[in-house]
A and B are shown apart, each in its own frame.
Chain A
Amino acid sequence: GQQLNQSPQSMFIQEGEDVSMNCTSSSIFNTWLWYKQDPGEGPVLLIALYKAGELTSNGRLTAQFGITRKDSFLNISASIPSDVGIYFCAGHTQGGSEKLVFGKGTKLTVNP
C-alpha cells in the first residue's frame, strides 16, 4: 500500500525551542493534513493543505505543501509543555480514493 515516511519518530526538546518534522512519499499527494493526538484522544486537525507550495499558519504552527507534491513539513515555534503529543501527517494521493494515508507519527516531548 501507500507509504508515508514521517520523521523524526520522536523528539525531546526544551520549552521555547522550535520544532520541525516532515513527511515524504514516493507518490504524489493532492492533500496534506497534519493532526495532533493526545493520549486517549482522537486526532485533532491542526492544518490542512490543498495546493502545491501552499504555506499555512495556525498560531505557532506552520506547515507547507511541498512543491513536488511528495512532501510536507510542520514547524512549531517557541514550544510549550502543552505541545506534547503525537503528530501525524496524512494525505490523499493523486488518483487515489477518499481514504487517508497516514504517517507513523512523531512523538514530541517538551521539557519545561
Chain B
Amino acid sequence: GAVVSQHPSRVICKSGTSVKIECRSLDFQATTMFWYRQFPKQSLMLMATSNEGSKATYEQGVEKDKFLINHASLTLSTLTVTSAHPEDSSFYICSARDVQGYGDTQYFGPGTRLTVL
C-alpha cells in the first residue's frame, strides 16, 4: 500500500511554544490530507481537512488559530500547534487521501506523540 510519513514521531515542548508536525505522502500525490487527534483508548477524532492550495476546513470545536494547517504541495501538509499548553498533549495522526487507485482510500502516517510540559 501507499506510504505516509510523519515527522517528528514524538516531541516534548514547553508550554507556550509552537510545534510543527509534517505529513508526507511518499509514493503518491494527495490533494487532500486529514489531521486527526487520538486520546487514549479512543477512536480517531478528525480535526481538519487539508486541501492542497486552499484553506483547511476545520471540524466544529477545533480552533483554526490554534492548529494552523498548511498544504503547500501535493505531498506535504503541516500542522502547527501554536502556543501549546498541556491540554494539547495528545497523539496526532495524519492521513492522505488516495483516489488514483481502484477507489477512495486513506493511508495513515505513524503518528506524532506531543507532550507539552
Contacts and interface: CB of A to CB of B under 8 A. Distances in A.
B93 A43 contact: yes
B113 A104 contact: no
Contact of B103 (A40, A48, A99): A48
Interface in A63-103: 88, 90, 92, 98-100, 102-103
A98 B44 contact: no
Contact of B106 (A30, A41, A100, A105): A100
Contacts of A44: 108
Interface in B71-117: 91, 93, 95, 97, 102-111, 113
A42 B104 contact: no
A45 interface: yes
Q: What size tier do the contact residues of chain B reach? A: 20 to 34
Interface residues of A, number: 22
B49 A98 contact: yes
B43 A102 contact: yes
B106 A88 contact: no
A26 B20 CA distance: 39
Contact of A42 (B6, B46, B49): B6
A21 interface: no
B32 interface: yes
Given A48-B103, A102-B43, A42 B34 contact: no
Given A40-B113, A45-B105, A48-B103, A99 B49 contact: yes
